[in-house]
Amino acid sequence: MSTRPLTLWRRKRPLRGVFAALATVKRAASKDCGYIGAVVKRVLLAAPRGYCAGVERAVETVERALAQHGAPVYVRKQIVHNSHVVDELSARGAVFVASVEDVPPGGLVVFSAHGIAPAVRTGAASRSLRTIDATCPLVTKVHAEAKRYAAEGHTVVLVGHAGHEEVEGTMGEAPEAIVLVESVTDAEQLEVEDPRRVAYVTQTTLSVDETREIIAVLHRRFPSLHGPEKEDICYATTNRQQAVKELLAHVQFLLVIGSANSSNSQRLVEVARAGGISAELIESDRELDERWLEGVETVGVTSGASAPEVLVEGICEWFRARGVAEIRELSPAEENVVFKLPAELRRPAA
């Protein structure tokens, strides 16, 4: 699969409220902190990192809905996979629910960036709910591909991770025609009704390298395999993995800022470890373990596509408070992708 060129990283607008406190200098932690990793001389930041266009759109969707309609605004599942974002929006009046059944009849509900199955829309309509769809447009593209291939009579192979919300939503588009493949082993063992009529789509937040291997197996086993004209792994996932690969030659340890249920954040840890560099996934500087830094001169830092930049700033302040003066981006890069807000928020309020 091809990767997009990385050009100057554009700092994303941080969330307001409690996150602002993380951006302040932590003066209390100083030279007396007993810093085990005192050998650390520099911190290199990967670029691009953090918020992608789909996450920016989803978070702003909830913020705008609250501004236009007032609280409560219900959100089915986590709007994006980051606990800090969820906590901040909850403090401002968003109510996160597991199902549309948990929303009072007539209530306003926002669907998360990960997409939903058609059955969820049907359930919302049956309760007369007002809905705003914050599904990332790149996920919507995968849904459209899966429906089209299924309508054409193909067995649709979905490469992804079982249980992920994006996978559940995509499979719901044509459950009778879609089969899930999670690994090369799954691809080798896959049996289909007609090997001449097989197509594939992928989750948008997968490992680029691992997915390439799985698709190669599918092409070998099913020579007439159909696939999307443009890869389904999103630009942000691809760019962040490529940025980590470029960082690995310069660091001895990588910190990935993100939540444990963030697929794209987990993939960044895997990329580093596959490249021979130790890596850990943490929510914020509060989870940073100084023992990880023993013998490390250069630490790399990146963040998943649903992690706000203020959390990276908090990590940088943690290192500054412990005497690390050199903190810089390895090579600045820019992403200029922007998605329009859902149509429901662009129309004048009734």
Share of the chain above pLDDT 90, in %: 85
Please, are residues 78 and 112 in contact by the beta-carbon 8 Å criterion?
Answer: yes
How far apart (Å, rounded) are the C-alpha atoms in residues 347 and 271? Answer: 42
Residues 6+ away with beta carbon under 8 Å from 117: 168, 169, 171, 172, 173
How far apart (Å, rounded) are the C-alpha atoms in residues 317 and 221? Answer: 51
Confidence of residue 13 (pLDDT cuts 50, 70, 90): very low
- Specify the pairing of strand 253-257 against strand 298-303: parallel
Residue 246 has pLDDT above 80, yes or no: yes
| Amino acid at site 206 | L
pLDDT of residue 166: 98
* Stated pTM of the model: 0.88
For 301-333, the pLDDT digits (tens) are 999 999 999 999 999 999 999 999 999 999 888
Active site residue 88: no
pLDDT of residue 37: 53
Return mean pLDDT, the chain: 91
Confidence of residue 15 (pLDDT cuts 50, 70, 90): very low
pLDDT of residue 348: 56
pLDDT of residue 51: 97
* Active-site annotation holder among 56, 63, 88, 166: 166
Please, are residues 155 and 177 in contact by the beta-carbon 8 Å criterion?
Answer: yes
| Amino acid at site 44 | L
How far apart (Å, rounded) are the C-alpha atoms in residues 259 and 82? Answer: 5
For 204-223, the pLDDT digits (tens) are 999 999 999 999 999 999 99
How far apart (Å, rounded) are the C-alpha atoms in residues 110 and 66? Answer: 11
Please, are residues 85 and 308 in contact by the beta-carbon 8 Å criterion?
Answer: yes
Confidence of residue 244 (pLDDT cuts 50, 70, 90): very high
By the 10 Å C-beta count (0-12 exposed, 13-18 middle, 19+ buried), 179 is classed as middle
For 275-309, the pLDDT digits (tens) are 999 999 999 999 999 999 999 999 999 999 999 99
Average pLDDT over residues 326-345: 93
pLDDT of residue 3: 39
For 127-156, the pLDDT digits (tens) are 999 999 999 999 999 999 999 999 999 999
pLDDT of residue 23: 42
What DSSP string runs through 112-178? -TT---HHHHHHHHHTT-EEEE---HHHHHHHHHHHHHHHTTPEEEEES-TT-HHHHHHHTTSTTTE
Residue 20 has pLDDT above 60, yes or no: no
Confidence of residue 38 (pLDDT cuts 50, 70, 90): low
Residue 71 has pLDDT above 90, yes or no: yes
Lowest mean pLDDT among 12-26, 92-106, 299-313, 317-331: 12-26
Residue 30 has pLDDT above 50, yes or no: no
